[in-house]
Structure 1
Amino acid sequence: MTIYHIALRSDWTDAVAAGEYRVSTRGRTVEQVGFIHASTAAQVDGVANAFYADAEDLLVLVIDPAKLTAPLRYDPVPGADEPFPHIYGPLNLDAVTGTAGLRRDADGRYVFEA
């Protein structure tokens, strides 16, 4: 099953230049947190609106778990109905099969366009 990671466009551009992606979540690295936050398709909207509501210039990395070089685990998150995928190490660029968009609806909330 495909997983997703919300990224600032500038962080993704930096990762492409560096050869790997090391951002866990907004403003924090994989070294600081211990893993990279990811989501299933059904979880992207909620994450975008909870943690990135004031951010612009976002994109969603489309990730093929079979291509990850770092371990992937689905961990329970307090208050969440379903566990979230977490990547325990840097994200290798060849596991990213594309990008998807987030748009704002009439109320200004992010909507994931898988």
Structure 2
Amino acid sequence: MILHICGAADWAEVDEVGEYRPASLDDVGFVHCSDFGTAHLPANALYRGRTDLVLLEIDPAKVGAPVRWEDGVPPHPAGVWFPHVYGPVPRAAVVGVHDFTESAGGGFRLPDALARR
């Protein structure tokens, strides 16, 4: 499974047979994703203070588009690679939607439902 951070309202706009098409698809040609061990990195760098986020749990076998592990954009200073989906994400490929909020001590961490896996 791979993970994608988005606003709850953006996800709510995708109908039952629709596709999720974030702005990054037009801007850089892919959907930014993470894995279970790296989702906190972009969250803490880009989304501090946001209270409207969800974490989409995506089955890469169901997206119908290439998924490539690559350097981040921009590259992560520690050389971490991230999964990128080179096409829209069909709603059917999203197998879970999890509220994604900062922890009480500050910073993002995986929701308990995902951390237990």
Q: What TM-score comes out, normalization by structure 1 length?
A: 0.85
Provide the residue aligned with 1:9 in structure 2: 8
> Could you say which residue in structure 2 is the equivalent of 1:74?
69
Q: Which has the higher contact order (CA 8 A, sep 6+)?
A: 2
Q: Which runs of 5+ in 1 are unaligned?
A: none
Give the deviation of 1:80 after TM superposition: 3.8
User: 5 Å matches for 1:91-106?
Assistant: 91-106=89-104
Q: Which has the higher helix share?
A: 1
Q: How does 1:1-114 map to 2 (within 5 A)?
A: 2-16=1-15, 19-23=18-22, 28-77=23-72, 78=75, 79-113=77-111, 114=114
The gaps in structure 2 that reach 5 residues or longer are none
Tell me how far apart the structure 1 counterparts of residues 11 and 78 of structure 2 sit (CA, whole Å). Answer: 27
Aligned-residue sequence identity (percent) comes to 39
Q: 1:52-96 CA deviation, whole Å, 9 max, x = no partner?
A: 113221110000011111111001232243310000011111110
TM-score norm. by structure 2 comes to 0.84
Q: Paired residues, what number?
A: 109
Q: Residue 48 of structure 1: SS of its match in structure 2? A: helix
- Partner Cα distance (1:18, 1:80) in 2: 38
TM superposition shift of 1:103: 3.2
Kindly indicate which of the two structures has a greater share of residues assigned to strand: 1
Q: Relative to 1, partners in 2 of residues 1:9 and 1:35: Cα closer, same or farther, differing over 3 Å?
A: same
Query: For the Cα contact (< 8 Å) 1:63–1:96, is it kept in 2?
Result: yes
Residue 109 of structure 1, CA deviation: 1.5
* Aligned equivalents of 1:52, 1:16: Cα separation in 2: 25
